Amino acid sequence: MIKITNLQKYYRTEEVETVALNNLTIHVKEGEFVAVMGPSGCGKSTLLNIVGLLDDLDEGSYLFNNIEVAKFNERKRSDLRKHNIGFVFQSFNLIDELTVFENVELPLVYTNVPAAERKRRVEEVLEKVQIMHRRNHFPQQLSGGQQQRVAVARAVVNTPKLILADEPTGNLDSNNGNEVMHLLTELNEAGTTIVMVTHSEHDARFADRVIRMLDGQVIMETTTF
Amino acid sequence: MIRNYIKTAWRSLLKNKGFTVINILGLTVGLSAVLIIALWVQNQFRQDNFYSNQENIYKVLNRYIVDMSTGQSTPYPAADALTENHPEVEYAARVYRHWERLLTFKSDGIKAYGNEVDPDFLKIFDFPAIKGMREDALSNKTNIVVTEGLAKSLFGDEDPLGKTITLDNEKSYTVVSVLNDLPTYTDFSFNYLIPMDRDPSNWNTMSYSTYVSLRPGVDIEVFNEKIEPMVRTHAPDLKNNVNFLYPLSRIHLYSKFENGVAVGGKISQVRLIAGIGLLILCIACINFVNLSTAKGQKRAKEVGVRKVIGASKGNLVGQFLTESVIISVVAGILAIVASFLALPLFNQMLDKPLSFVTTGPLVWLILLGFVIFTGLLAGVYPAFVLSAFQPIKTLKNIKVSKKSNFSMRSVLVVLQFGSAVVLIIATLIIHLQIQYASDRDVGYDTSQLLEVALEGKAVENYETIKNELLNSGFVTHITRTGQTITQNNSSSWGNFSWQGATPEQSKKTTFFLTNAQSDFIETVGLKLVDGRDLDYPRLPSDNRAILLNEAAIKTMGLENPIGQLFNWGDEVYTIVGVFSDFVSGSPYSEVEPMLVFSWIDNLKNMIIRTDNQQAMNKTLAFIESTVKKFDPAYPFNYRFVDERYAEKFKNQQQTASLSLTFSLLAIFISCLGLFGLISYITETRIKEIGIRKVLGASVSGIASMLSIDFVKLVFVAIIIATPIAWWAMNKWLADFAYRIDIQWWMFVLAGLLAIGIALFTVSWQAIRAAVANPVDSLRDE
């Protein structure tokens, strides 16, 4: 599903150029659950952003479902993103002005799904993450674990083929963290590909494969089962 | 999608209450100004531009080839000549304006202004009638048409039709028609119309306004060529006269002519005020732009999230525009309420009372247009800035709005304060100029001086009245004149000569004319410079005596004026006295040459200097009872000269109050914006402030650090505004001969004022941020 070859990514400021990712090659198969680990600043979040088409790459090739997307413009990327990729962030990133229901509904609004269909799908996914009873609450009224469950619901409501999770349990206690990890595992078992950046060895054990990075390069890959 | 936009926008506005209130308040003030100004502008454009046959109605004007001036009066026979000789003319009607006349019904009398008109007047102008006939109402010489208001005050609730009204206790008329009260948007001002009844032969006196309606399809340029020589062929004296028709609808706004060509007029004031209204709206829009982009940092995360989950740039632009349109719609609704409340205040300032009731749908359409336009205008820049945020940066909390020294925001603040400074300087100079003119020495003591109208039998009994008043002890001096001394209503030129006058002088010197009886100089309180006062009828030869003012002597170049002869056409007069100059015309002009004749006809203005030892109410009561002995039918009509003189400042006072009002509004909106801006900026710099405090910065140091950027911007605004204001105000002052010079300290004062206001606005927030406990701002890291 994801074939990234010889990826180079630099960050430039006025005087300094920093190499963020250096000649990196990664393949992820459909249905896989991959964890990316490494110390702070090793480039794992940058990698995730490039995979999620939020950031562009400077050199190399990126095939998404066998389509070269490295040179896609903003509009095409946005199109591909909204139909294929769901995001889960460490800090949840829910919109404070919208209720639980509306937050989850938003991706469907942007893909012009009719209202009745939206309602059905949002309710279905809220049931799945067991937050249906809080559907009319605003994010500030929920606990961290509940917020992350909403964020997961929002990520999957469009039934994306790929979910990208950036330290999804980073802001949660272990109970809530485990709940979210189980949720992701379930989604993976149902066929969704997941790439997750994490610091936690415990979380990484839920993945099929762990990629370890250092200074913008992959230094080790392990299969966990 | 749109429902989603509205919902999100609404909640976001509720969440950022401070921002929302500042924006709505600013836009409300801006839109109210626009609404009231639109109402006034519409009224100006509607002026005599609403008759059903509008496009064919013209006024007959004439221009003089010699001095290129254009006049609006015509001789009496012109109307008949037009209808008889030109089949293109459908109707022609003369209008002769009456001064106040006494109208009596049974024993009740009131004074009112009216017009004497030809019967076709009501065919040309379709003023609607509520009762009686309309088009043929004036076909009978004893008919009178009255307005609803006059009918009410004369007849109360009785049916006015068929009632008899007596005019000036002389002639009786029968009411045949009642018209609606005149709208505010016509330059006609009459309470009654009576049929024209005057000497038809005179081509030499230009006392009438003539209106015509042409048949449809007449080429006006061709027609104007035909009538060009009309007056001069009949009146050889007026050989320099050229006639032309001018569209009635353009008279009000475009009646300033140069060589017969319209070069503007009231339209320039309309443009100026409309411009100021738009300027205020722009200042309000700038607030919106500045605050929206300033709080962009706060909303950056939301933009990022939305983009990540699939929002396109178009979606986000749509969302932010919805927000700004909602703000402007709310502001628009509040503006309607605010204008309703503020309208009476503006009506006091403006010469035309405005009303929302009589306004057509146009003003509302304009408001709607402005609301939507403002929403889009104010929203479009922030919408594009915010929607262009890169999601990856916003989600990582990287600062998205770069802090540069020369940002769009700075430019806008400079623009805003620059406009405010121009308005401050303008207001200051207008007020100083008016103050300067009103402090001007009038040339006589205006206090304790009364003017009383003599009417009916009182005119003949002037000498008796005079003696009774002087003997009473209430009054120290009395004279009577042909017109008020506070105005110059009559002037003439071209036909005067005196010893030593060059042909150029005889032809070009303009004299203001008035006539008076004895004791003129003493009563008014002028200084007798040379010779003596008029003393008619005691000296019968004084019917050929004249007085001149110093300005006249100077212009004429006379060395020993007393006893010299002065010719006006074939008439010969003797100069008997010279009096000191006094202001009778515009207080902004130099004193012009003035001539006082002693003609005794039409001496209907009694000037009375009262004794300041007596109580004014008793004095007035005594004068009233004395005058009423001789003309009981007339209401006692008196005016204080100082009040009348003060009216000269009404027009400029109006400009002054308008400029003051608009300046205050502009400053208010600018300060709102500045307040909002400093609030957001202290919020985004809160961590920096905390660190500085931990490292030992003082409260005053931090407060001044936060304020100094704004003071710099206001300073730049002053530098830019100064030359613009200097240029504009020089142009404005050029219209006054008696005027102040623009001084450097006026700009300094305005500048200090602007900086003071800006500093006051920002310092409160800056100090608040500076005294905050640094632990609070650093803890949430």
DSSP string, B306-318: HHHTT--HHHHHH
Confidence category of residue B533, pLDDT binned at 50, 70, 90: very high
Residues in A touching B306 (Cβ below 8 Å): 95, 106, 110
- Give kind and range of the element (H or E) at residue B512: strand B510-515
In a domain, A208, yes or no: yes
Beta-ladder partners of B567: B497, B572
What is the C-alpha to C-alpha distance for residues B395 and B397, in angstroms, rounded to an integer?
Answer: 5
Contacts of B392 in chain A (CB under 8 A): 49, 54-55
Average pLDDT over residues A153-177: 89
Q: What are phi and psi of B103, to 5 degrees?
A: -110, 125
Q: What is the pLDDT of residue B263?
A: 60
Q: Write down the pLDDT at residue B177.
A: 93
CA B97 to chain centre: 23
Helix, strand, coil tally for chain A in percent (to 5)? 35, 30, 35
The tokens of A175 are what? 């109970």
Q: How far is CA B507 from the centre of its chain?
A: 34
Average pLDDT over residues B472-498: 83
Write the CB contacts of B709 (distance below 8 Å, at least 6 apart in sequence): none
- Residues within 8 A of B (CB atoms), A 81-120 only: 81-82, 86-87, 89, 93-98, 102, 106-107, 109-112
pLDDT one-digit tens code per residue, B24-53:
998 899 889 888 888 888 888 888 888 988
Residue B192 sits in the same domain as residue B299: no
The model's pLDDT over B460-476, given as tens digits with 9 standing for 90+, comes to: 888 899 999 999 999 99
- Average pLDDT on B621-636 reads 83
pLDDT of residue B386: 81
Is residue B708 a contact partner of residue B770, using CB atoms and an 8 Å limit? no
Mean pLDDT (whole number) for B504-513:
80
Q: Does residue A192 form part of some domain?
A: yes
Q: Do B312 and A110 touch (CB under 8 A)?
A: yes
Kindly state whether residue B256 falls inside one of the protein's structural domains. no
Domain boundary among B402, B432, B458: B402
Model confidence at B400: pLDDT above 70 = no
Residue B477 pLDDT:
93
pLDDT at B262: 64
Instruction: Establish if B628 belongs to a structural domain.
Output: yes
Q: Which of A81, A86, A97 sits opposite B12 (nearest CB)?
A: A97
Q: Which of B606, B630, B647 is the last residue of a domain?
A: B647
Domain presence at residue A10:
no
Mean pLDDT, rounded, for A154-164: 91
Query: Could you list the residue range(s) of the whole structural domain that residue A80 is in?
Result: 30-58+74-223
Q: Looking at the domain assignment, is residue A11 inside a domain?
A: no
Average pLDDT rounded to a whole number, residues B4-15: 85
Residue B409 lies in a domain: no
Average pLDDT over residues B580-609: 86
CA-nearest residue of chain B to A104? Answer: B309
Asked whether residue B686 falls in the same domain as residue B735, the answer is: yes
Residues B432 and B547 in one domain: no
Note the pLDDT of residue B539: 86
Between A107-116, B146-155, B193-202, B311-320, the lowest mean confidence (pLDDT) is in B193-202
| Averaged pLDDT, B480-505 | 80
CB spacing of B305 vs A158 below 8 angstroms: no
Are B38 and B64 in the same domain? no
The answer to whether residues B87 and B215 belong to one domain is: yes
Tokens of B347: 């009506």
Is residue B6 located within the same domain as residue B83? no
What confidence tens digit (pLDDT) does each residue in B727-757 have? 988 988 887 888 899 999 999 999 999 999 8
| A196 assigned to some structural domain | yes
- Dist CA B604 CA B168 (whole Å): 14
CB contact under 8 A, A93 and B306: no
Mean pLDDT on B691-712: 84
Per-residue pLDDT at A109: 87
> Are B143 and B240 part of one and the same domain?
yes
Contact A107 B301 (CB under 8 A): no
What is the number of structural domains in chain A?
A: 1
Distance from CA of A225 to the nearest CA of B (A): 33
Section B82-94 average pLDDT: 92
Q: Mind listing the pLDDT tens digit for each residue in A70-87?
A: 888 888 888 888 889 999
Q: Are B721 and B737 part of one and the same domain? A: yes
Domain count, chain B: 4
> Does position B642 have pLDDT exceeding 80, yes or no?
yes
In a domain, B747, yes or no: yes
Q: Contact A106/B309, CB-based, under 8 Å?
A: yes
B490 part of a folded domain: yes
Are B476 and B622 in the same domain? yes
Mean pLDDT of B189-198: 89
B101-105, B267-271, B531-535, B586-590 — which is least confidently predicted?
B267-271
| Domain with B614 in it | 449-647
- Is A125 part of a structural domain of the chain? yes
Q: Looking at the structure, do residues B518 and B632 belong to the same domain, yes or no? A: yes
Q: Can you tell me the mean pLDDT for B10-31?
A: 87
Name the band, by pLDDT with cuts 50, 70 and 90, for residue B576: very high
Q: Which residues of B touch A81 (CB under 8 A)?
A: 308, 310
Percent of chain B scored above 90 by pLDDT? 26
Q: pLDDT grade, residue B661 (50/70/90)?
A: confident
Q: In this complex, do B310 and A97 lie within 8 Å of one another by their Cβ atoms?
A: no
Beta-carbon count within 10 A of B338 CB: 18
| Report for B272-281, B344-353, B616-625: range of highest mean pLDDT | B616-625
Pick the last residue of a domain from B647, B681, B710: B647
- Higher per-residue confidence, B294 vs B480: B480
Q: How confident is the model at residue B479 (pLDDT cuts 50, 70, 90)?
A: very high
Query: Would you state the pLDDT for residue A118?
Result: 92
- Whether residues B323 and B349 fall in one domain: yes
Q: Please return the burial class of B522, using the count of CB atoms within 10 Å of its CB with bins 0-12, 13-18 and 19+.
A: middle
Local confidence band at B399 (pLDDT 50, 70, 90 cut-offs): low
Say yes or no: B434 and B298 in one domain: no
Whole-number average pLDDT of chain B = 85
Contact at CB, A74 and B301, closer than 8 angstroms? no
Give the CATH number, domain containing residue A208.
3.40.50.300
Q: What angle, rounded to 10 degrees, do the helices at B266-294 and B408-438 form?
A: 140
pLDDT band at residue B423, thresholds of 50, 70 and 90?
confident
Residue B312: list chain A partners with CB under 8 A. 75, 78, 110
Confidence of residue B307 (pLDDT cuts 50, 70, 90): confident
Mutation target among B10, B16, B308 for the A interface, most CBs of A within 10 A: B308
Q: Is residue B408 part of a domain?
A: no
pLDDT for B404 beyond 50: no
Q: Is the pLDDT of residue B781 over 50?
A: no
